[in-house]
Amino acid sequence: MKTWINKGIESLRHMSVQVKASMAFMVVNFMQKGIAFLTTPVFTRLLSTEEYGKITVYSSWLEIIGIFAMFGLTSNVYYNGILDYKKDQDNFTFSMLTLSNVITLTVMLAVWTVNRYVLHFLDISPVLFFFMFLSFFIEPAFEFWQAGQRFSYKYRLVCLFMVLVMIGSPVFSLMGIRLCPSMKVEARIIGAQLVTALLSTGCYIGFICHAGGRPKMRYWRYAVKYNLALIPFFLSNYILNGSDRLMISWYCGDDKAGIYGIGHTMASVVNIIWSSVNATLLPTIYLKCDEDRREELSGIVVPVITGFAAVCIMIMLLSPEIIRCLAPSSYGEGMYVIPVVVGGTFIMSLYTVFSNNLLYEKSSRTVGAAGIAAAVLNLVLNMIFIPKSGYLAAGYTTLCAYILPVVWGSVALKRLTGYFVYDIRQIGTVSVAVIFSSLFVSRLYDHLLLRLGILLGMLIVLWIRRKWLFGDIAGKIFR
């Protein structure tokens, strides 16, 4: 054991700063998401299903309004901008921050006017309304600072701040709930964001002090031109990921939205796993495509997809036990949400694989169009089936909607390259297994021994096929 530890330390010492930074960000991200997941049982016991539902609804509105209020300026457009304007990075960042603030204030005024005098569609308190827009106003500064640090591979301070957020979020939330029992929803939300708000304020002041001039209109035009076409795509992603909770709240009430939100907690855990895997695969996909070695990708990606599918099915089989750990008995119906939501997350991961290649081929319109089509389909199916069949229908409609962009993306990739790139037969077989499990695994929830037997069988198969799944992948990725 001591020898292994020494070898590990020695390997870390010889790693490049890029690898160290990537590993540090991944580890801290897992820790941050893990704390959020592990504290879920605490908050589900302190909050009623209706209160938890209100938090779920607030989170959904935060996502959709944030698309307009921050205009996506903290994502790709900023990354491209700091590369295009390296010599004027401070003023470019300041220009992005001021543009974001102007848009935030405009959207706040519009939403407040419409919600108060035309159509009352926001089911959140005035305190949360203004806190939401305060977050939109200052948090881009923290995001811009983090992006600059990541580009420079300065990971220590970023990781320290992420750890502070990770610890502070549950601590201040719990303190707020204890101190303000009559405002539990507000205390949970504001407490969770308090450390981030303080760090964002510090970054905001720092950018203003280092601006060295006024914001430049040409940078504003650059950002608006770049992002305006992406807003529909951002919206489609939200609709696929969050609209079901809002529609459940509308049709079935906040308590059902809260129960459904527990299912999405597991989906977020699955999504964290895939995001980390995809972050490793993405450079490999681009490199192999650039070297015209696409035929090697299937041997790398298909085993990874198969292993990820096995993890998803195992989570589905353990849904009853997961729900008992996460929440009290009032959330028990959530066990029936987990299989279809996790299945949908797996199907969407397949689209990520195809879209990685499509984006390399500079076919961003195809990627956006597929996402928008899936979002429209999801909305229509939700409007039809949630009122008729109840809130559990939302999981099935989302699963169906996710299939559309996968088919669309695979066909588009074949048209661009002349072949599917990946082994469609193997991917199809794995996908059918996951979809079948999503639809029928709940029939086994009353048979614990049978589920444990299936889990044991899966683990044995994975062990037998471990070389195919894991053995040569690292060598292929870095070859």
| Residue 240 placed within a domain | yes
CB 350 within 8 A of CB 369: no
Query: Computed from CA positions of residues 447, 448, 450, 455, in that sequence, does the dihedral angle turn out positive or negative?
Result: positive
Say what the pLDDT of residue 173 is.
93
Domain count for the chain: 2
| Residue 304 placed within a domain | yes
Within 8 A by CB and 6+ apart from 291, the residues are none
Instruction: Extract the runs of DSSP E, i.e. beta strands, from 429-474.
Output: none
Rounded to 5°, angle at Cα 13 from 10 and 17 = 150
Tokens 């305006």 belong to residue: 228
| Residue 5 placed within a domain | no
Cα distances (angstroms) measured from residue 76 to each of 42, 222, 297, 445: 36, 12, 25, 43
The last residue of a domain, from among 199, 228, 257: 228
CA count, 13 A, side-chain hemisphere, 225: 8
| Residue 9 placed within a domain | no
Same domain, 385 and 346: yes
CA distance 361 to 417: 9
Residue closest to 254 by CA, chosen among 422, 56, 443, 406: 56
| Residue 2 placed within a domain | no
- Determine which helix (DSSP H) or strand (DSSP E) holds 109, and give its type and residue range: helix 89-113
Say what the pLDDT of residue 236 is.
76
Same domain, 246 and 224: no
Same domain, 287 and 343: yes
The last residue of a domain, from among 207, 228, 249: 228
Residues spanned by the domain of 304: 231-478
Same domain, 309 and 403: yes
Say what the pLDDT of residue 252 is.
85
Same domain, 143 and 189: yes
The last residue of a domain, from among 228, 262, 293: 228
Say what the pLDDT of residue 475 is.
46
| Residue 412 placed within a domain | yes
| Residue 420 placed within a domain | yes
The per-residue pLDDT string of the chain (479 residues; one tens digit each, 9 = 90 and over) reads: 555 555 545 555 555 555 565 566 656 766 766 677 678 778 888 888 888 888 878 988 898 899 899 988 877 677 667 767 878 888 899 999 999 999 999 999 999 999 888 878 888 889 999 999 999 999 999 989 987 787 676 778 888 998 899 899 999 999 999 998 889 999 999 999 999 999 999 999 999 888 767 888 999 998 887 777 667 777 777 776 667 877 888 888 877 887 887 777 777 778 777 876 776 676 677 667 777 888 888 888 888 888 889 989 998 998 888 888 877 777 777 788 889 889 988 998 888 888 778 766 757 677 778 888 888 898 899 899 988 888 888 888 888 988 998 898 888 888 888 878 888 888 999 999 999 999 889 888 888 899 999 989 988 888 887 776 655 444 444 44
Say what the pLDDT of residue 355 is.
79
